[in-house]
A = this chain, B = another copy of it.
């Protein structure tokens, strides 16, 4: 399988696959003319990458999962390094959820006060009429 076919089958672009390769995530062989050649296993790897990216992982975080898959595991999640990353990411997401919740509260209060202020001003204006 060459890069175009893999890209299409994985639902991405050739550019993207080369980018993953430049970051050490995908490892194609080369045919005599220099074309990249991928086996079926790489399709799963690319799917794993895309799934993790969609969840918010960075390429560097994904490396352990790919290594885990390459080591023959049925899931990229089960190796110690992957679990460590999962734990870290979960903690990060929890942190972010907290901060975002605080932002939401502040935004909500700010909005409530602004509307209250506007209604008050509106009432005063009507009394003046």
User: Interface on A for B, CB 8 Å cutoff?
Assistant: 55-56, 75, 77-78, 82-83, 86-87, 89-90, 93-94, 96-97, 100-101, 103-104, 106-108, 110-111, 113-115, 117-118, 121
Contacts and interface: CB of A to CB of B under 8 A. Distances in A.
Contacts of A100: 93, 96-97, 100
15 contacts: A55-B103, A55-B106, A75-B113, A75-B117, A77-B111, A82-B114, A83-B114, A83-B118, A86-B107, A86-B110, A86-B114, A87-B111, A90-B111, A93-B104, A97-B100
Contacts of A89: 107
Contacts of A77: 110-111, 113-114, 117
Contacts of A93: 100, 103-104, 107
A118 B86 contact: no
A93 B106 CA distance: 11
A100 to B, nearest CB: 6
A111 B55 CA distance: 13
Contacts of A83: 111, 114-115, 118
Contacts of A114: 75, 77-78, 82-83, 86
